Structure 1
Amino acid sequence: MKDLRIALVQMQVNIGDVKKNREKIAGFVEEAASRKVEMILFPELCVQGYNRERAREFAEPIPGESTNHISRLARSFNMVILAGLAETSGSEKPYITQVVAYPNGQVDKYRKTHLGRSEKPHFTPGDQLPVFETEKARFGVEICWDLHFPEVTTVLSLQGAEIIFAPHASPTIVGDRRDIWLKYLSARAYDNSVFVAACNLVGPTGENQEFCGGALVIDPKGNVVAEDFRGKEGLLVVDLDSRLINTIRHNEATSMRHSFYLQSRRPELYQLLVNTRLIN
């Protein structure tokens, strides 16, 4: 990995107002470009807004109008853009997708693989865990609920991911969002020796929904690098220092403190236990 400047967006969206939401995305990208950002992360379903019941109504194909818009921004501002939208699936239930648009015009995507109980009646789960790559870093995407499943981050790290981008659509609930995230996002980062960069929708959507916001970056040792939990729209710009993760990943550590723990896994034991339980 090389040193990298990223930005995380807390964004208020209006359900179904795709034009206005895309204009807001463009404004954040332009601001990020003025601050020399190289990769920018937008929240889950930021293009159409997060609404389970109406997602099918606003879903778009990929490639499509919104994807083309995001791709043009990536080319114009020489930036990798990760933005969330509802993608048509060929069935009644769309995917929750994070588009990855590159400055060279290439477009990739990740489809949310783990759906919450309230999402399953309305969305189709993805079935792949891809790792993407730029000249500076390899990265994976996990969308909101995905982060509660430790195996996902482990699989991505074993495939070479150095950063996990974590777009959220987490509502305002009882409990502090920072405290909730730190319980498990720090564990995902520490156990798998990855950066975790998370952001969230913020504010009301106009349809009896409100999101609590939050932006957070955690380093490969589980330490908070930068954060913004003021509960309002904004851009958090963070410089990722590659020295720590390179020390861990390239076996340059002089003590066990910087071990890459995944290299010491014994998967034959884990599989044996799984098989034993299935037999019993």
Structure 2
Amino acid sequence: MNDLRIALVQMQVSIGEVRKNREKMAAFVEEAAGKKVEMILFPELCIQGYHREKIQEFAEPIPGESTNYLSRLASSYNMVILAGLAEMSGCEKPYITQVIAYPDGRLDKYRKTHLGKSEKPYFTPGNQLPVFETDKARFAVEICWDLHFPEVTTVLSLQGAEVIFAPHASPTMVGDRRDIWLKYLSARAYDNSVFIAACNLVGPSGKNQEFCGGALVIDPKGNVVAEDFEGKEGLLVVDLDSKLINTIRYNNTTSMRHSFFLESRRPELYGLLVKPGLIN
């Protein structure tokens, strides 16, 4: 991994007002470009807004109008953009997708694989855990509920992911976002020797929903690198120092202090993890 400057966006969105939301995103990208940001993360479903019951009428294909817009932004500002989109792709129900637009016009995507209980009637789960790459880092995406399943981060790290981007749409009613994130995101980062960069929607959406915001970066030792929990829109710019992760993962150190824990796994003991259902 090489040193990388990223930006995390806390954004208030308007349900179904795609053009308005995209214009707001463009303003954040322009601001980030002025700060020499190389990758920018927007929250879950930021393009159409998070509304389970109505999301199908706003869903878009990939490629489509919004991804074309993102590609133009990425090219204009020489920045990798990760943005949340409700994707319609031949299924009865849309996917919760994070689109990745590169400056050279390429598009990648990750479809949320673990849907919350209230999401299952309205969305289709994805079935792949891809890892992507730029000249600075290998990275992956986990969307909100995905992060509650430790195996996902482990699989991504084993595939070479060094940075996990974690867009959220977590409402205020759930509780203190910082306290909740630190309970499990620090463990995901530490156990798997990855950076985790999370951001959340913020403010009212106009549909009886309020989001609490939050932006947080945790390093491969589980330490907080940067955070913003002021509960308002904004851009958090963070430099990811590659020295620590390179020492842990690539320098073949014998130090216990810099162990890459996944090297010591014993997969033959973990058979229950791949069996469906709960075991009493």
Which bin holds the TM-score, normalised by the shorter protein?
over 0.9
After superposition, residues 147-226 of structure 1 pair within 5 angstroms as 147-173=147-173, 175-226=175-226
Tell me by how many angstroms 1:213 deviates: 0.1
SS at match of 1:99: strand
Structure 2 stretches lacking a partner, 5+ long: none
Q: Relative to 1, partners in 2 of residues 1:118 and 1:179: Cα closer, same or farther, differing over 3 Å?
A: same
Distance 1:86 1:278 in 2: 31
Tell me by how many angstroms 1:174 deviates: 5.1
> Greater shift after overlay, 167-176 or 185-194?
167-176
Matched residue, 1:118: 118
Note if contact 1:3-1:240 (Cα within 8 Å) is conserved in structure 2: yes
Tell me by how many angstroms 1:176 deviates: 1.2
Report the TM-score when normalising by structure 1.
0.97
Distance 1:274 1:120 in 2: 21
Distance 1:223 1:165 in 2: 16
Matched residue, 2:105: 105
Matched residue, 1:24: 24
Matched residue, 2:90: 90
Runs of 4+ displaced beyond 4 Å: 272-275, 277-280
Distance 2:97 2:42 in 1: 12
Tell me by how many angstroms 1:91 deviates: 2.5
SS at match of 1:164: strand
Matched residue, 1:34: 34
Q: Relative to 1, partners in 2 of residues 1:265 and 1:32: Cα closer, same or farther, differing over 3 Å?
A: same
Distance 2:22 2:274 in 1: 46
SS at match of 1:47: coil
Q: Relative to 1, partners in 2 of residues 1:227 and 1:279: Cα closer, same or farther, differing over 3 Å?
A: closer
Matched residue, 2:4: 4
Note if contact 1:89-1:124 (Cα within 8 Å) is conserved in structure 2: no
Distance 2:29 2:102 in 1: 13
Report the TM-score when normalising by structure 2.
0.97
Distance 2:98 2:82 in 1: 6
Q: What is the aligned-residue identity percentage?
A: 85
RMSD, matched Cα: 1.7
Structure 1 stretches lacking a partner, 5+ long: none
Residue 79 (str. 1) matches residue 115 (str. 2): no
Matched residue, 1:236: 236
1:65-115 alpha-carbon deviations (Å, 9 max, x no partner): 000000110011000000001000312210000000111110000000000
Matched residue, 2:136: 136
> Greater shift after overlay, 263-272 or 173-182?
263-272
Letter of the 2:43 partner, please give it. P
Tell me by how many angstroms 1:272 deviates: 7.6
Tell me by how many angstroms 1:173 deviates: 1.6
